[in-house]
Amino acid sequence: MTDQRDPTTSAQIERFSRYLALAAVFLAGLPTLVGLISTPPGSTYLGHQLNLDDQMVYAAWMHQAMSGRVLFENLFTTDAQPSLTFHLLFLLMGWLAKVIGIVGSMILTRLVLTYGFVRLFGKFLVELGLPVFTAKFAITMACFGGGVGYLMWERFGEAARHAPAWLAAITGGRAPIDVWQPEAFVYPSMLTNALFMASLCLIVVVLRQVWRARESWSAVPLGAIAYCALMNIHSYDALLLFMVVAVWLAGLLAAKQATLAWFARIAVIGLGAVPAAGWFLYVLARDPVFQARAATPTFSPSFAQVALGLLPSIVLAVVSLLVTKTGKGRIAGVISVVLMVVLWVALPGGTEAMQLDPVTWAVFFAAVVGTVVLAVGQDPAKTMLLSWALVAMVALYFPAMFQRKLSMGLIVPWATLAAFGLASVIERVDRSARNMVAALGLVVACASSILWLQREISFLRDDVSRTSVHSVYYSRDATRILARLSAVPGRKVVLAMPGVANADGPADFGRPIITDLNPVLSGMAGATTFAGHWSETPHYSKRRNRLTAFFLAQTPVQDQEALLAETGADYIVQPNPDAFRSVESKDGASLLADLSRFGTKVYDGSQLWLIQVRQPPTPARQAE
């Protein structure tokens, strides 16, 4: 390893990371630029194609911040709640949105953080003392690397419908995670949202300050602040980082490479999360809506899906251990392989429920600790990366319903270790041949990222979000309704018909027949919706079915009136039955009800109506 303070090496890595950061911003912003240019006249483009309903959750918080609120409520349910949510990132983005709008704030922040991550990661690798070639390969692989998902690519969903039979059998008929799980990878995160990129930036900052704390207390304040911010904006990542640093310290202590002063400084950095964690627990104890959201299952995929989604990096990372000069290091490499094989067998493809009980998970975690202790040599940097890589694999099966959310940046440590492996294999090859091998390796490892970009462009072309029930572009009617509702002060409850997907075969979708406006109404107009989001709305499936029935002609009037009274609805966004003749029964009659009898049309569009509800005061309204 070179001296981490070598100015020539540092300058080369810094320059490379700067150019790569600019390229990443361009590639992350390219679909957005295409979307803005292609927006039909009078329509609205919300700046995202991936998981648009999730984007609207963030927009709803920003909308509240724009109105002067600091503590937010969940606008995706009509349930009573104490409105205690504090989210630093979207508070700041909301303040920015007062100047450039919600969509502008979301796009700009995502791209700025994209640049910031690449630069921060490059600086971190300089701190760790990586040689120039290793660092360049690590940064590129971390930012754009993936697995072999391009061999079984899917445009929608997780099911591997187009995969070769032998490959689908390995994963239980499901696609590797580099096809569908953006937060585990950097480039898909760059395409997805500012939250993921902010989390990745904070993870790197915390680890960098932990590393710097070896020598001085001056690294502690920034590390503690970053860890507090991480706990606030994405608490799952704070848990993951805690496990990573704990295992790394165990290895260093076993090798007597950690001083008491360093340990104390790291502990103080860890205490930075206490205020945010305390507020999290306070809200969890007092907000039933937050409790319901926290209880939404997000189980991890099978280990085969995970391993294939990282395969090139895993192979080269294992090579980096097997070619190490120490016998213990080689043993650690063998144990790592055995550990992953056991996980593969223990967590077969097709599993739907939580895969590991607490005792079994603790055994795997102990195996990770043992592997890291064995691998410790004279290189604490490589030990940190190994701890991060192995802990992240096991953390995916943490015995809790949010386990899949512990996958943030999974590619980063594996890609960095892969750079060590590639460097060790080709270190004796001349420079031109070495660069050619590295380029070919990057083409293979980064092919899935190319398909992520291609998919984004295809969503723009077909005017459909990856959710399949949300459009990319919102019509003139929708734009005017959103503007009108956004101007209504205070709380307003709006009912809109859930989306009707437009299936083009069993595995693809086109522009929705009816776009689900519910999350968009909450995000862009600050409206309260009854069934707005699959995880933010308690009992979402049941409420979505009730809301769909509300708009159907065959639903009894008394049932429609009951939903209006229960929700205290102020407005209805009604699809114009004449504009949606495809939604009709076999005899040609429209399946959509005419709901204008419940109020007054305040906007009469060719596709959508906005109806202000005439409703007698309910107890809830009188209390307001």
**Helix H or strand E encompassing 608:** strand 608-613
Rounded mean pLDDT of 566-575? 97
What tens digit of pLDDT does each residue of 297-312 get? Answer: 888 999 999 999 999 9
Main-chain dihedrals φ then ψ at residue 511, nearest 5 degrees: -55, 130
Gap between the Cα atoms of 187 and 613, Å rounded: 45
Rounded mean pLDDT of 458-468? 96
Gap between the Cα atoms of 287 and 395, Å rounded: 27
pLDDT of 9 reads 83
Q: Are 316 and 356 in contact (CB under 8 A)?
A: no
Gap between the Cα atoms of 233 and 220, Å rounded: 20
pTM: 0.94
Domain boundaries, the chain: 13-42+86-456, 474-623
Place of tokens 């799980």: 181
- Planar angle of CA 73, 76, 82, nearest 5 degrees: 25
Six token digits for residue 485: 């509702």
pLDDT of 381 reads 87
What tens digit of pLDDT does each residue of 494-540 get? Answer: 999 999 999 877 678 999 999 999 999 999 999 999 999 999 999 99
Mean pLDDT (the chain, rounded): 92
Please report the sign of the dihedral spanned by the C-alpha atoms of residue 213, residue 215, residue 217, residue 221.
Answer: negative
What tens digit of pLDDT does each residue of 142-155 get? Answer: 999 999 999 999 99
**Helix H or strand E encompassing 24:** helix 7-37
| Better pLDDT: 621 or 321 | 321
Is the pLDDT at 356 greater than 90, yes or no?
no
- How distant, in Å, are the alpha carbons of 57, 186, 278 from that of 181? 18, 11, 30
pLDDT of 432 reads 77
